[in-house]
A and B are shown apart, each in its own frame.
Chain A
Amino acid sequence: MEKPLEEFTEKINTKEELIFYLEGLSQAQQAAFREGRALLSEKLKGKISKELKNFFEKMEEKGMLSKNPEQQYSFLEKIKKYLLSLPEVKLEIAFSPSNDFLKNISLWFKEELGQKVILDLTVNPKIVGGAIIEYQGNWRDYSLAREIDKLINDKLSHYERF
């Protein structure tokens, strides 16, 4: 993978961010044919996010993104496909996480799984603490709410035994 693409991908941690960038890429695809032969970064000046603009510029500098609209379009399509192919992890937590924490989680996944993952994040205070995780059809509840329920049920079953 090219370094600019890697750097760009590093910025995408959550599903919300992914949707945001996919929309930007679709917008860029539309813009590719609108103003004839020109650099994509120029065509989309002031119309796209800073991160996306920087990514296009870096790619243009490396010569990977020409002025040819068709080439621009197919490049953008490849990027979209790549982003959509990234594995998704559903994560339910009890608090609103900071960006740094999200980055840490993403990094942890990359280190542990050896690949970039997209976090489909849900904030649910009812789970008290911890997390409920779903990855490729596997679901696990590591929440404190479950722990409390378990404790209560154990107590109740203990009481019923007597």
Chain B
Amino acid sequence: MNIITGENLHFFTFLALIILTILVCLNLLLLKEKKKTSEEEFFFRISKDFYNQLKKLIEEEIRIGLDGFKKEIEKTSEEITKNYQLQFEEEKKEIKKTSSRVSEQMSKEADVVAKEIDAFLQKAQEELSQLSNLGLETQRKISDFGLESQRKISESAKKEISKLEQINLETRNLWTAEVKKQLEIFSKKFSQEFEKTCQLARDALKENIKETEKEIENYKEERLKEIDQKIYYLLARVAKKTIGKAIDLSTHEKLVMESLKKAKKEVF
């Protein structure tokens, strides 16, 4: 088992940083205390160069201290890592042992379960065969029941068909009677309507005949009038010609003189 995972590494780094921070803080406190005591003890003024050298010295000391800490941390972390690795190896071995033991136990249990399953399967097979037999029996029973039902249904259907045929016959008779009745009504109505229409047509025809006769009569009268007119005109023409030829000279002269006498009264 590997103990150094990403999560553990972060944890150790964080731990190391905390420790380092604590150490730095302690160091600073010590320095401050030291400075305080030195300030309290020495009331003389220090030169700038001395201050700077002292500052450098302190910083050097801190750096050396920090390096030491760093190395110690590294060393500690390596030891921890090693410890963990060892622990991990042991746990690994333990797990292996446990797993082999568990697997053995499981195989034993599996054998038992397999045996049980086999037994169960055998029992199931037996039950299945029983069920199959039962199914066949049931099927046979169903088949018998089906045949019986079919026979019953067939008989019932025959009865129903005969009933329906009877109903059909009755219905047909009823329909025939109804149709006959309706036909008679329709025939009556039709004959009445037909008679009415015929009467109307006869009246219209009579009216038309009357009108036509009147028109013919008028036409006849007109034609007769025309013929009479023509006859009269013809008569007039004939009369004019015959009278003109028949009149002798003395009569002509007499007629002219009579005309003059008439004119004397009206014109002259």
Interface residues of A (CB under 8 A from B): 91, 93-95, 97-98, 101, 104-105, 108, 112-113, 125-126, 128-131, 133, 135, 138, 140, 142-145, 148-149, 151-152, 155-156, 159-160
Q: Which residues of B contact A113 (CB under 8 A)?
A: 268
The chain B residue sitting closest to A117, CB to CB, is B268
Give the most central of B228, B239, B262: most A CB within 10 Å: B239
Q: How far is the CA of A97 from the CA of B253 in the complex (A)?
A: 8
| Chain B interface SS verdict (over half) | helix
Cβ B262 vs Cβ A93 within 8 A: no
Does B259 contact A131, Cβ atoms closer than 8 Å? yes
Partner among B225, B236, B260 whose Cβ is within 8 Å of the Cβ of A148: B236
| Contact partner, B262, options A94, A105, A142, A145, Cβ 8 Å | A142
Q: A133-B263, A140-B263, A148-B236 are in contact. Are A156 and B256 (CB under 8 A)?
A: no
The distance from the CB of B220 to the nearest CB of chain A, in whole angstroms, is 14
Q: Which residues of A contact B259 (CB under 8 A)?
A: 130-131, 133, 140, 142-143
Residue B258 is within 8 A (CB to CB) of chain A in the complex: yes
For A94, give its contact among B228, B232, B233, B252 (CB under 8 Å).
Answer: B252
- Given A125-B244, A156-B228, A142 contacting B258 (CB threshold 8 A): yes
User: Which B residues fall within an 8 A CB radius of A?
Assistant: 225, 228-229, 232-233, 235-236, 239-240, 243-244, 247, 249, 251-253, 255-260, 262-264, 266-268
Q: How far is A95 from B233 in the complex, measured between Cα atoms in Å?
A: 23
CA distance A126 to B247 in the complex (A): 13
Those 7 A-B pairs whose CB atoms lie nearest each other, nearest first? A142-B259, A131-B259, A138-B267, A128-B244, A129-B255, A152-B232, A130-B255
Given contacts A129-B252, A148-B240, contact A135 B260 (CB under 8 A): no
Bound form: Cα–Cα A159–B252 in Å: 32
User: Considering the chains assembled together, what is the distance between the CA atoms of A138 and B262 in angstroms?
Assistant: 13
Contact A130 B256 (CB under 8 A): yes
In the complex formed, the residue of A with least CB distance to B243 is: A128
13 contacts between A and B (CB under 8 A): A91-B256, A93-B252, A94-B244, A108-B260, A113-B268, A126-B244, A130-B259, A131-B263, A140-B263, A144-B244, A148-B243, A151-B236, A152-B236
Q: How far is the CB of B83 from chain A (nearest CB, A)?
A: 163
